Amino acid sequence: MLRIRRIYDDVLPVNKQILAQVKDILRSRFTGIKESEIELIDEKLRNPFKHRFRTLFFVAETLRGKVQGFAMVLLEPDIGFVFLDWIAIIRGYGGGGLGDALYDRVRREAQALNAKGIFFECLPDDAQDCPDKVLLKENRARLRFYERYGARPIVDTGYETPINSDDSCMPYLVYDGLETQKPLRKAFVKKVVRAILERKYAELCPPEYVENVVSLITDDPVKLRDFRYVKPESAKTDIGSRSLEQIAIIVNDKHAIHHIHERGYVESPVRVRTILAELEKTGMFVQLKPDSFPEKHIYSVHDKDFVNYLRRASADVPEGKSLYPYIFPIRNKTRPPRELSVLAGYYCIDTFTPIHKNAYLAARQGVECALTAAQEILDGRRISYALIRPPGHHAEHKAFGGFCYFNNNAIAAQYLCAYGKVAILDIDYHHGNGQQDIFLHRPDVLTVSIHGHPSIAYPYFSGFEEERGEGDGEGFNLNLPLPEKVDGQRFRKALTKAISRIEQFNPQFLVVALGLDTAKGDPTGTWSLSLQDFEKNGRLIGVMGLPTLVVQEGGYRNRTLGKNVRAFFKGLADAGPEWTKNRRDISNRIHGIFFRHEIEEKDCERIRRLVDITGFFSSSEIKVAAELVEERLAKGLESGYHFIIAEHYGRLVGYCCYGPTPCTVASYDLYWIVIHPDFQGRGLGHKLLKETERLIKASGGTQIYVDTSQRVQYASTRAFYEACGFHLEAVLEDFYGPGEGKAIYCKTLVP
């Protein structure tokens, strides 16, 4: 079985392995490709804005992580198009259809990103443009492949104009109009072609060439070549039902086997049916079957003996009977009793969650649903929903209770966190003690829970504000306990607090433990949330713009349960348009920035790359920047160069170089201050400068000088210094060249 997933960066070890395989595929499939181009892939992922394109990467891999193919795509968000850079499949792949699966995925993603279409290059399939017979055959197959989607080369534009007079075999520019297939406007194509040539082929295309090619686009609309290989009516342009914007719903179809027929046992099969009946009316959901996953995913958050116990004890209970714990050892968990019935009290936290013939099987299936839903998120879906029972959020590492056996949301979060940081937001009426316990010591999974205060609500022994996580996990658990009477407004106040903590944590994925027992009239709760409140809550969460996996927890008032779930998802999905906008805002806040003052061996190359990436400095300036690092490494403080390195989770994102001005008492020169393009305009420059001033002051410095050019392109640099309290001290006219003066700024440090 293959899955296609999006790779976000090369920071995680698992992604590093994937990218290594991708590079091997490139080497084996494209002979003659330059090694430097291959190595650029990491950088493109890490520095999405370097070429003013965002790089999206999709790999098709087996469940064991063996890459079978991939697609690399550049998104231009302002003009609104996607450029397909690479699509490749391993040599000898026998499965068939993988190219389609990858290209389907690219189209779905382009549609979800509101791109007006996909552009890419294909080598010519006309014999006069391509004298090589073998190549010609390949080119024809490739253009036939894309024509099946309606994608064809643009014609009569001059895109194929040779750069050098002896160039032959110039590629066509192919356009896929996705579902709409609207006429291709001239102005749009001009912008697209300019962006491609200037940004992607900057080294190859001189400015006159770009101007010439752009000026040759004269038809409006720009024409596409007639269909050559397939009948126009058989081209399948639709993306529709497979849209990633639909919410995937995965239902535990084995849930009904778990049915405790006892008075007052409110956690019953009708809950799932009620919810499903409401959701089916909306057309917002697409129902998927659960996949199977190995048991190791359960062990990844639960104690093995505990899991084995549940399996054995479930199998042991006679049909129709329930085993309730009847003795609870004082929590001495080092010496478990042997008897299965006595062991129940060793593993359970209360007296109302029995072991039952099918409890294990139903819970096991619930886990598979949650994992399938998590997989959908990895596959690029924005929202997925595991509609399951029994619920899971009270199940701890080594304990069950509160109708819960396995912690579905924690298992899914653990699965996702191999691909990026995860936040779990628990909005059930009861405290999410399970995931708190499981991730208590970990900083890579943030657990947040809004719930009835433990003084009035189950589980009574946890959920207090002061439980903030332990060890490395300190500060990564947030409990927001609320009083007995809470309405929608009061709840949203807490929810807003929870959301701001999550945004500060800046996760890649969000898991929502969705309980509806906060609703008015719920038999297990005391609050009074209404239908409108659930919709508002959904919207608030949706605006965060995170890929969101929703896992069903509690909610027992069957009259309103389904409607409330529906309202929640309506809010969550409607936040979509705001989401794209907000995505940018979120990325504008920086957390995890650390300053380091000691320079290390590795910094030399990293600083050279950073200075280069900004696109602001000439090659000789880049050399100088690196030389200063080398000098500092060789001579230490004697070199007169001091550095402050700004790192974001270990990645170099900015630095500053300064030092005492020779032959002065207390003057300092600021030589370099460089900020990574991803972090510009986000306050990092100010922070870095502040830190520099602090250190200069501490070593007795009283003023700082900095030089910059008077050229127009340095206007923002000058504005930056002025905003930081520097004033223009002198101008040396024509210093750098005719008309290019040197501006000297100074800041006096107040002791």
**Distance between CA atoms of residues 103 and 111, nearest Å:** 12
Q: How far is CA 219 from CA 122, 167, 211, 423, in A?
A: 21, 25, 16, 51
Q: Is 99 in the site for Zn ion (CB under 5 A)?
A: no
CB-nearer residue toward Zn ion: 463 or 515:
515
- The CB-of-524 to Zn ion minimum distance in angstroms stands at 6
Classify residue 222 by its DSSP letter: B
Shortest gap between Cβ of 434 and Zn ion (angstroms)?
11
Radius of gyration from C-alpha coordinates of the chain: 30
CB-nearest residue to Zn ion: 554
Shortest reach from residue 271's CB to Zn ion, in Å: 12
Q: Are 139 and 229 in contact (CB under 8 A)?
A: no
- State which of positions 490-529 bind Zn ion (CB under 5 A): 515, 517
At its nearest, how many Å lie between Zn ion and the CB of residue 517?
4
**Which lies closer to Zn ion via its Cβ, residue 429 or residue 658?**
429
Residue 514 CB, nearest distance to Zn ion (Å)?
A: 10
| Residue 718 binding Zn ion, by CB under 5 A | no
CA atoms of 146 and 177, how far apart (whole Å): 11
> Of the two residues 404 and 610, which places its CB atom closer to Zn ion in the complex?
404
Task: For the chain, give the number of residues.
Answer: 751
In this structure, what is the dihedral angle of CA atoms 423, 428, 429, 431, given to the nearest 10 degrees?
-50
For residue 61, state whether it binds Zn ion (rule: CB under 5 A): no
Contact status: 554 vs Zn ion (CB under 5 A): yes
Nearer to Zn ion, 365 or 433 (CB): 433
Binding segment for Zn ion (CB under 5 A), chosen from 143-151, 549-557, 581-589, 709-717, is: 549-557
Taking each continuous run of H as one helix and of E as one strand, the counts in the chain are 21, 24
Options 106-114, 403-411, 548-556, 570-578: segment touching Zn ion (CB under 5 A) = 548-556
Helix residue ranges per DSSP H, 216-287: 270-280
In the residue annotation, 591 being an active-site residue is answered as no
CB of 452 to Zn ion, least distance (A): 9
Q: Does 430 bind Zn ion (CB under 5 A)?
A: yes
- Count of residues binding Zn ion (CB under 5 A)? 6
Among the residue ranges 277-285, 430-438, 579-587, 605-613, the one whose residues contact Zn ion (CB under 5 A): 430-438
Provide the token pair at 579: 């989401």
394, 431, 451, 453: the active-site residue: 394
Q: How far is the CB of 553 from Zn ion (least distance, A)?
A: 6
- Characterise 494 by phi-psi region: left (phi > 0), alpha (psi -120 to 50), beta (else): alpha
The DSSP code sequence of 382-437 is: SEEEEE-SS--TT-BTTBBBTTBSS-HHHHHHHHHTTSS-EEEEE-SSS--HHHHH
Query: Residue 227's closest CA among 125, 136, 148?
Result: 148
Q: Choose the stretch contacting Zn ion; rule: CB under 5 A; options: 276-284, 426-434, 461-469, 637-645.
A: 426-434
**Closer by beta carbon to Zn ion, 176 or else 426:** 426
- The Cα 89–Cα 29 span in angstroms is 8
Q: Which range touches Zn ion (CB under 5 A), out of 265-273, 404-412, 472-480, 552-560?
A: 552-560
Helical H runs in 545-602? 558-574, 576-587
| Backbone phi, psi, residue 667, to 5° | -100, 145
Minimum CB distance to Zn ion smaller for 255 or for 442: 255
Can residue 428 be called a binding residue for Zn ion (CB under 5 A)? yes
Of residues 356 and 430, the one with the C-beta less far from Zn ion: 430
> Alpha carbon of 341 to those of 314, 344, 571, 608: distances in Å?
11, 5, 45, 67
Task: Mark 150-189 with x for binding to Zn ion (rule: CB under 5 A) and - for no binding.
Answer: ----------------------------------------
Sites of contact with Zn ion (CB under 5 A) = 428-430, 515, 517, 554
Which residues are catalytically annotated? 394
